[in-house]
Structure 1
Amino acid sequence: MQYEAMHGLLWTKGTFWVTVAVLIFLGFFGRKLINAIVSLLDRRSQAIQQELDEAARLRAEAERMLKDAEARREAAIAQAADMVALAGREAERLAAELLADAEASARRREQMAKARIAAAETAAIAEVRNAAANLAVKVTERILAETIDGEHDQSLVDQAINDLPAALRKQAA
């Protein structure tokens, strides 16, 4: 049976006619089928190209946004550094100002303390002088009361009256 299938007239076999039918079918419908496949592949290619273009556009936009964000970040970092430097200078200025105010306040308090001490010294000296003067007057009264009598008293008064014009001239000069 295999021998007969391999030998004999070609058009008497079924495979020949199936092959002829396929070739006729491809002859009539092959171009349409190929055109449909090519059209389908072209549409798919266009869709892929559109997706690639969209992806490229999105990537370019993302890169632009990244550059913009980096620029804003750099600007913010620079602004923060400026603010930190400004705050540092302001803190130094305030510290110097507070130090100067504290020194001025300390000097004022020192001057006030010195003035109080001087006033207290003056008051103490005046008090000591008054006490010494009062003591001297009391001692003088006691000495005079014990040592001076009426006759001696008269001679002292006469002498003081006689010395009065000389003392006045001396004081006027």
Structure 2
Amino acid sequence: MRNILALILTAGAASPAFAASGPFFSLGNTDFVVTIAFIVFVAVLFYFKVPGMIGGALDNRAQGIQAELDEARELREEAQTLLASYERKQREVQAQADAIVAAAKEDAVLAAEQAKKDLETSIARRLAAAQDQIASAEASAIKEVRDQAIAVAVAAAGEILAKQMTAAQANKLIDAAIADVDAKLH
């Protein structure tokens, strides 16, 4: 503050007011009038506490700026918290999506294995049914051949017996058959 006052006095001493001709302390000297007006102006400013008001306005502005900075800092921290929260949620959702994809792949593999087993079972069942049909057809064919062979053998035996048998032997066989039937029925 002293340096500023010394600077003002030095500037005042080197001012054109001292270089003016004639007495300096007269109202006819414009330099003196301007100097007095300046001193009165500065005095009025100090009387109405304008420097304090300017300082207060600057302080208020500084406080407003500080409040805005604090609010901006809080908003930044809140934004960082939200960002961290969203990133965490994104990681959780990604983990869930990965788990769902893995489960779906595993289910697909299990379903494919089950379908393969079901197909193998179906093939085995159809093969067994086909083998049963073949066995049944074979048994039927054997029975038909056997029945045909029996029919041919009976016919051949009947012819041979008819040629070799006499009427008395035939009557005897008929009576024996009737007795056999009668014994079985009673």
Structure 2 equivalent of residue 150 of structure 1: 166
92, 111, 120: which is aligned to 1:94?
111
Matches within 5 A, 1:67-82: 67-82=84-99
Structure 2 equivalent of residue 9 of structure 1: 23
Considering Cα pairs closer than 8 Å and 6+ residues apart, tell me whether 1 or 2 has the greater RCO: 2
- Residue correspondences, number: 151
Matches within 5 A, 1:7-46: 7-10=21-24, 11=26, 12-30=28-46, 32-46=49-63
Q: Alpha carbons of 1:104 and 1:149: their partners in 2 closer, same or farther (altered >3 Å)?
A: closer
In the alignment, the residues of structure 2 paired with residue 134 and residue 62 of structure 1 have an alpha-carbon distance, to the nearest angstrom, of 104
TM-score by length of 1: 0.76
Q: CA RMSD in A?
A: 2.5
Structure 1 equivalent of residue 7 of structure 2: none
In the alignment, the residues of structure 2 paired with residue 92 and residue 29 of structure 1 have an alpha-carbon distance, to the nearest angstrom, of 91
Query: What percentage of aligned pairs have identical amino acids?
Result: 38
TM-score by length of 2: 0.71
Gaps of 5+ in 2: 1-18, 173-186
In the alignment, the residues of structure 2 paired with residue 30 and residue 13 of structure 1 have an alpha-carbon distance, to the nearest angstrom, of 26
The alpha carbon displacement at 1:27 in A equals 1.8
108, 123, 127: which is aligned to 1:110?
127
